[in-house]
Structure 1
Amino acid sequence: MSLPVLYGAEYSVYTRIARLALLEKGVAHRLDPVDVFAPGGPSAAHLARHPFGRIPVLEHDGFTLYEASAIARYVDEAFPGPALQPAGARGRARMAQVVSLLDSYAFRPLVLEIYVQRVSRRTPDEARIAAALGPAAVVLDSLEILAENHLAGPDFSLADLHFVPILAYFTLAAEGAAMLAARPKLSAWWARMQRRETVLATRFPAEG
């Protein structure tokens, strides 16, 4: 069996999701850097792996897969190690709900609008940040209700590792840190996540 290769970037939210899944399962792998923001855009070789030129992409024994949530589920089911998906139908449904919620409603306001504008731009667009605060609050309130221990039940799952990279960036913005602090259950969840070895091993360069 060949070593799985993950094509992506250390700064990428979705690459980190895939890396977290691999590390949680204890899967030895190689991260092959791909910078989709490089001049000229993705290479022809990468476009052959991913027709939309995004990251991450996983290659494993001749099988090529893109989309982080699909990669994470494949890793959980294809390799031995601790289960990353709940056993019951309701737990799996809740996990799928959280992952979909994060992709559909969280990534843009928390990362692209609030984090990027506040932290990555020399001159933040205050109007864009202000417009994103309401949607961000709805996301956090929705997850605060679920965060009793983990986001999809009593055990760590793909739902948790999907939120870790998003919240890691979001809380680097002053607005994000303040909004998280106002939600005690999510704050406690985040404190637990930050102690996990896999989370520490995949910290973004921006986290220092």
Structure 2
Amino acid sequence: MSGTSFAAPVTLCGFEDSIYTKVAMMALAAKPVAFEMQHEDPFEKVGAESHPFGRVPVLKHGDFTVYETGAITRYIERAFEGVCLVPDDAECVARMDQVIAIADNYAYWPMVRQAYAHAVVRKQAGIDWDKALVDVGLAAAEMVLAELDTIAREGHVLNGLRITLADCQLAPMLAAFAQVPKGQELIARHWALNRWLTWISHSRVFRQAVGELR
């Protein structure tokens, strides 16, 4: 049982362009949990003061503070009433955890830090961007998308029926990658994953936490 009152104020420290901050925002929106946003950006001089390693997001619930996105989303699931974001079936939970691990270990870097950060963020800001890095990210993304599509076709998670922590973890990453023209083309080649992204991008949870998918 949580030692923090359910009614205690909730603060999310991060910045809205941060993919992992959006992951936490999706989990909060899915429950739903009202929270205050405290702007902290590790790329600014002030940095992320609430995180000992200078990163985001950080969740504060009353006197309790937790960092690391996986710990935050699991805490949100356990500490607050509302929609259950973890399936009951063992196979579904395993697939959920697998998607989260794939997103963190294989999707985030090529899709977000390489393809999206250079082809979209840096390019639109007029900052020097590296086309070679974009190409590397796109190439690495192909196998990741294929594996995620296999899981979506299986139907335990990413099924367009219910939102789980897997949806919260993956959706902001794929939404960013979809803003890369070639990235959108690659996603569209995988019908089950593309169908799921269309479904999640029209959900209240996604629109509240991430915004409109371009």
TM-score with structure 2 setting the length: 0.88
Report what 2:210 is aligned to.
Answer: 203
Report what 2:60 is aligned to.
Answer: 59
Report what 1:26 is aligned to.
Answer: 32
Aligned letter for 1:26? P
Is 1:147–2:152 an aligned residue pair? Answer: yes
| RMSD of Structure 2 on Structure 1 (CA) | 1.8
How many percent identity over aligned positions? 35
CA contact (8 A) 1:150 1:160 kept: no
1:67, 1:9 → 2: CA distance? 15
Local SS of the residue matching 2:37: strand
2:203, 2:84 → 1: CA distance? 16
Moved over 6 A (4+): none
Is 1:194–2:195 an aligned residue pair? Answer: no
1:24, 1:51 → 2: CA distance? 28
2:170, 2:211 → 1: CA distance? 14
Report what 1:10 is aligned to.
Answer: 16
Unaligned runs of 5+ in 2: 1-6
1:66-115 deviation digits (Å, cap 9, x = unpaired): 01111111101111111000112222121111101110010000011111
Q: How many residues align?
A: 202
TM-score with structure 1 setting the length: 0.90
CA contact (8 A) 1:150 1:189 kept: no
Written as runs of structure 1 = structure 2, the 5 A alignment for 1:17-166 is 17-38=23-44, 40-42=45-47, 46=49, 49-121=50-122, 122=126, 123-148=128-153, 149=155, 151=157, 155-166=162-173
Comparing 147-156 with 92-101, which one deviates more in the overlay? 147-156
Unaligned runs of 5+ in 1: none
1:193 and 1:150, CA in 2 relative to 1: closer, same or farther beyond 3 A? Answer: farther
1:152, 1:20 → 2: CA distance? 15
